Amino acid sequence: MGDNHNLSDYEAASEEFSWDDIFAEADWEAPGDLNIAHEVCDRHAADKDRVALYQVSEDGDLTTVPFWQLAEESNQFANLLESMGVERGDRVFSYMPRIPEHYVAMVGTLKRGAVWGSVNERFGPEGIAYRLADCDTSVVLTTTDNRETVAEALEDVPSVEQVITVDRGDGVPDGDIAFGDRLEGAERNYETADTGGDDNALLYYTSGTTGPAKGVLHEHRWIAGVAATQRYTMDIKPGDCYWSTADLGWLTGPINTLGAWFWGATMFTYEGEFDPAEWAELLDEHPITILFSVPTAYRMLRENESLLDDVSLDLRLAGSVGEPLSPGVVTWGEETLGVTILDTYGQTETGNFIINNYPSMEVRPGSMGKPIPGVEAAIVDPDTGEVVEPGETGQIAERPDFPCFFAEYWEKPEKTASCFVDGPDGEWYLSGDLAYRDEDGYFWFEGRADDVIISSGYRIGPFEVESALGEHEAVAEAAVVPKPDPERTNIVKAYVVPSEGYEPSDSLAEDIKTKVKTDLAAHEYPREVEFREEMPKTVTGKIRRTELQDLAQAEAEAGDD
């Protein structure tokens, strides 16, 4: 069956792989001459029937954007930027929903040779202001319904000279550039900036689960990296309809969208927020063959699986990134979605999902899989840069020589330098994530280095405990953190959102503890279980363990009084 996939033999492909082969797929002489916008859009425009994007609005209306139209409108947007005085390398940031204009602007900005960034709409004025000011953005693109929030943010961002606003019915305020009107009048041809692989292209801020967010800079060569993942992991084929639920305000959005467009694939997007009933309907109504989302969304679909009962699914592949995907969810996916959800691992810094599962490779549920061909990754001792033995915990590290590896943290050379360690046989980039590798080369995530729990002298990775908790039928979501304890340094404390139909009680807490103690290990089970209605999350859906940790810490301190 492996023969039907773009990557039919993982081991052979890893040996033979050369990035030159991906660059050779580009239209221009890459990597010397390379512009993402040209490669993902203009070269597919000649085929008039080829669809770039199906977009469903919150009201359920479908808009179809063929590549020729994306090419033309992004030309107009590039002309608009040029007429506004936006120069190569200037930063253009968006703050808006998943509407066709958003995609047009992303491609148009890259055509102009400017640097594209985006802030997710769940951020408030402070979060927006921090990011825009940090990189001296010149232009912001938004919608009338977001305009007040942006105005508040801009009070603290002197660098922004102009705001481009998409009219969503309220009328564009005086002084703003009206997206629709100005695009209509703009020239439909544009000579794409003659950038090369080493020119700046994207600036995305880290999720900031620990510490202030940092701007991660990527160059045009990034496209080769993401194209490889889309080909080998997501197995993109002509005729696919690919729903990546990720917003453009998170790098996963561009990774999937631009990476898939490199191959001329059709993307699907939904403007609204996550809603299990709505998602079930979309999966039913549209011929979606590839679904890419985050563990939280899959867990919530599992919680509401009856919604999928009468849904006719066209899925042939599903993927996940951003958080650990527990084995129970993988098994559920096989039974209910009819596909094995492929876990993938990456960071804004790695620019891509780089340790992944592949449709033709045996999946070990709970494992993130193996490095993509072309990326050398290992588990290393962060102090010495030495590769540790299979089964031993260390930091996930990569050789920083692949195309989608970041260029730098924006204007933070010391922060950038601090991510690297010189090992006995060369330099490694340290991810800050802990994992081990089994004898067969599969990577198993254990937790962020900062999240590790030290209890009675043991180092406990939260993910294993959370996975074991997730296997209990009464547990919808779980997160574990250290709670300071005089005898054991810390105990493991679990916060649990109960599944529907289960009421929090002491006996349920005991039952959950006992199950983890028997299934997993006596030293790792949570000595305390507290029920919550929901988990605190970052805008990208990651559980904010730091917030829970603060709660546990405060509780321990209060207990001492």
Q: How far is the CB of 553 from ligand PRX (least distance, A)?
A: 21
Is the CB of residue 131 less than 8 Å from the CB of residue 119?
yes
Residues whose CB is less than 8 angstroms from the CB of residue 45 and which lie 6 or more positions away in sequence, other chains included: 67, 68, 70, 71, 72
Out of 324, 333, 403, 482, the residue judged to bind ligand PRX by CB under 6 A: 324
Select 137 or 233, whichever has its Cβ closest to ligand PRX. 233
**What does the alpha-carbon distance between residue 541 and residue 554 come to, in Å, rounded to a whole number?**
24
Select 147 or 448, whichever has its Cβ closest to ligand PRX. 448
Q: How far is the CB of 206 from ligand PRX (least distance, A)?
A: 5
326 forms part of the interface with ligand PRX (CB under 6 A):
no
Binding mask of the shown chain, residues 363 to 382, with x at each position contacting ligand PRX by CB under 6 A: -----x--------------
- Assign 3-class secondary structure to 131-198: HHHHCCCCEEEEEHHHHHHHHHHHCCCCCCCEEEEECCCCCCCCCCEEHHHHHHHCCCCCCCCCCCCC
398 forms part of the interface with ligand PRX (CB under 6 A):
no
323 forms part of the interface with ligand PRX (CB under 6 A):
yes
Minimal CB distance residue for ligand PRX: 348
207 forms part of the interface with ligand PRX (CB under 6 A):
yes
Out of 74, 195, 266, 540, the residue judged to bind ligand PRX by CB under 6 A: 540
393 forms part of the interface with ligand PRX (CB under 6 A):
no
Select 72 or 446, whichever has its Cβ closest to ligand PRX. 446
346 forms part of the interface with ligand PRX (CB under 6 A):
yes
Is the CB of residue 268 less than 8 Å from the CB of residue 260?
no
319 forms part of the interface with ligand PRX (CB under 6 A):
no
Select 179 or 222, whichever has its Cβ closest to ligand PRX. 222
Q: How far is the CB of 209 from ligand PRX (least distance, A)?
A: 8
546 forms part of the interface with ligand PRX (CB under 6 A):
no
And the tokens for 189?
Answer: 């041809």
Out of 244, 367, 431, 455, the residue judged to bind ligand PRX by CB under 6 A: 431
| Torsion of Cα atoms, 408 then 412 then 417 then 420, to 10° | -60
Report which DSSP code applies to 243. Answer: E
**What does the alpha-carbon distance between residue 37 and residue 493 come to, in Å, rounded to a whole number?**
48
Out of 6, 149, 159, 206, the residue judged to bind ligand PRX by CB under 6 A: 206
Out of 94, 347, 395, 467, the residue judged to bind ligand PRX by CB under 6 A: 347
Interface with ligand PRX by CB under 6 A: which range of 338-346, 454-462, 485-493, 528-536?
A: 338-346
Select 66 or 447, whichever has its Cβ closest to ligand PRX. 447
**What does the alpha-carbon distance between residue 311 and residue 292 come to, in Å, rounded to a whole number?**
18
Out of 103, 345, 402, 406, the residue judged to bind ligand PRX by CB under 6 A: 345
Per DSSP, the residues of 315-369 read -SEEEE-SS---HHHHHHHHHHTSSPEEEEEEETTTTEEEEE--TTS---TT--B
And the tokens for 273?
Answer: 């927020």
Interface with ligand PRX by CB under 6 A: which range of 34-42, 77-85, 344-352, 421-429?
A: 344-352
251 forms part of the interface with ligand PRX (CB under 6 A):
yes
Going 424 to 427 to 431 to 437, the CA torsion angle's sign is negative
**214 phi and psi angles, rounded to 5 deg:** -115, 145
**What does the alpha-carbon distance between residue 76 and residue 95 come to, in Å, rounded to a whole number?**
20
For tokens 């009338």, the residue is 144
Per DSSP, the residues of 413-449 read HHHHHTTEEEETTEEEEEEEEEEEE-TTS-EEEEEEG
Select 461 or 526, whichever has its Cβ closest to ligand PRX. 461
252 forms part of the interface with ligand PRX (CB under 6 A):
yes
Which residues of this chain interact with ligand PRX, rule CB under 6 A?
206-207, 251-252, 321-324, 343-348, 368, 431, 433, 445, 448, 540
